[in-house]
Each structure stands twice: as C-alpha cells, then as structure tokens.
C-alpha cells in the first residue's frame, strides 16, 4: 500500500497568495482528517470527512481556510489569502471506519512557509 | 470541552535509562491511542487500549490504561537513540472526534 499521499511536500509562498494542499487517502478508508501542527499549538484537527461529507469543521481557523473532498480518493485544503501565521506542517490522515475511534494513518505532511 | 493532557512536555534521558509519559483526560475515554512522531516525520500509530486496566507490551514499550479509563501511560525500558521523538496520546470525545494531547518530546543523551 502506498499509504496516505500528500502534495506538495514543501511550499514556500508570499503573503496574500492562494495555497492548495492535496491529499489522497488510503484506498477503502472512509474517514479523512486535516491537521495543522505548530510548535506553539501542537497538533490541531482542522476538519474531518466521513464518506466524503464534512462532519466537523470547528477547527478551521477562519474563512480563509476551506476544504473539499469531491470523491473518496482526493481532498484539498485551501488557504486564500495566506498569511505568515499560517506557516505550519499540515497533515492529512485517513481511517478505515466512519468513526473517530479508529487508528489514523498520517501522510508525510506539507511544510508550508508563508513569507 | 474535553481535554487530553500529557506530562511532561519534554524529557531528556541518558541512553539506557527508562522513560515514562503520562496522559490524562478530563472525561472517560472509550479507548486511548498512542502515536510516535520522529523528528521531521509524521505521527505513526503505536497501539490502542480499550479495556479498563489494560496493559500491553511492545518489546521495551509498556502501555497502560487506567482503571477509570481517564488516564494512560507509556513506559520505555532502557531507552535507545531510536526512541527519540514525540509521543502523543489521543482519545475520542463524545462526538467520536479524536483529541490529541500536546505530546511528550523525548531526547536521548548519548
């Protein structure tokens, strides 16, 4: 199995630019999660999907952040416009079942730097 | 809301010494999961505990789930340099959303 795939692995952009992060979950997994990790705040859950439907987006920081899952094998997290405080590592994770209780399999992450 | 707290935040140990990290939840957990994140890497699932008082071992790692299912611990015997990383506990809240602790960062002194 390829595991969870994320792209790009690294992104450097300037403040105000649009950033799109991509994720391909493990085939057959029903849940997908987006996390943000920083030294100050640790690992924060931004949003998660069950069967392609957003279930809880209470962790999304503000309207500049949006996430979509158009099909079972693809999800995007978009930041528009980006700000320096968005600099972080963004992880995508998937889980086999449609509950939050099961093991999560993390992708390698996207390291975002907003100048 | 539910909180999952881990202590200590950082731990430096001499290679060969033991290490323990503790996880405490403000509410009863249906299960608890432990993850390890190597420096520059991503969290990797280690184990899940479900039963009250459960103890599981993985080689030098011993995981415990408290009788009240509100706390857990991870103990590493005779640490090695490969144990370096951040150890996270995580548990589901009432809405089945996984809540991660802030993690314990382990540094091994050679």
Mutate to test the interface with A, among B5, B6, B43 (most CBs of A within 10 A): B43
The whole-number pLDDT of residue B5 equals 93
Question: Which chain B residues are within 8 Å of A100, Cβ to Cβ?
Answer: 92-93, 95-98
ω into residue B45 within 30 of 0, thus cis? Answer: no
Q: In this complex, how many residue pairs, one in chain A and one in chain B, have their CB atoms less than 8 Å apart?
A: 48
For residue B4, how many other CB atoms are within 10 A of its CB? Answer: 23
Per residue in A51-60, pLDDT (tens digit) is: 999 988 888 9
Per residue in B62-77, pLDDT (tens digit) is: 999 999 999 999 999 9
Answer whether B92 sits within 8 Å of A99, measured CB to CB: yes
Per residue in A69-86, pLDDT (tens digit) is: 999 999 999 999 999 999
| pLDDT greater at residue B58 or residue B92 | B58
Helix, strand, or coil here: A8?
A: coil
């Amino acid at each position: 199995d390829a595991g969870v795939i994320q792209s790009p692995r690294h992104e450097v952009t300037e403040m105000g630019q649009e950033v799109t992060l991509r994720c391909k979950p493990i085939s057959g997994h029903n849940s997908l999660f987006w996390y943000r990790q920083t030294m100050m705040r640790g690992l924060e859950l931004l949003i998660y999907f069950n069967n392609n439907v957003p279930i809880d987006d209470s962790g999304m920081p503000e309207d500049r952040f949006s996430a979509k899952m158009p099909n079972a094998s693809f999800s995007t997290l978009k930041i528009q416009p980006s700000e320096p405080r968005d600099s972080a590592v963004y992880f995508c994770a998937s889980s086999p079942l449609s509950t939050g209780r099961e093991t999560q399999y993390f992708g390698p992450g996207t390291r975002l730097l907003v100048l | 809301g539910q909180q999952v707290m881990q202590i200590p935040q950082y731990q430096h140990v001499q290679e060969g010494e033991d290490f323990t990290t503790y996880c405490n939840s403000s509410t009863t957990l249906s299960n608890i999961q432990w993850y390890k994140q190597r420096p520059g890497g991503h969290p990797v699932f280690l184990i899940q505990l479900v039963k009250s008082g459960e103890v599981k071992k993985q080689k030098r790692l011993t995981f415990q789930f408290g009788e009240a299912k509100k706390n857990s611990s991870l103990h590493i015997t005779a640490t090695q340099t490969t144990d370096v990383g951040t150890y996270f506990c995580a548990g589901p809240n009432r809405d089945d959303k996984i809540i991660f602790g802030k993690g314990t960062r382990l540094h091994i002194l050679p």
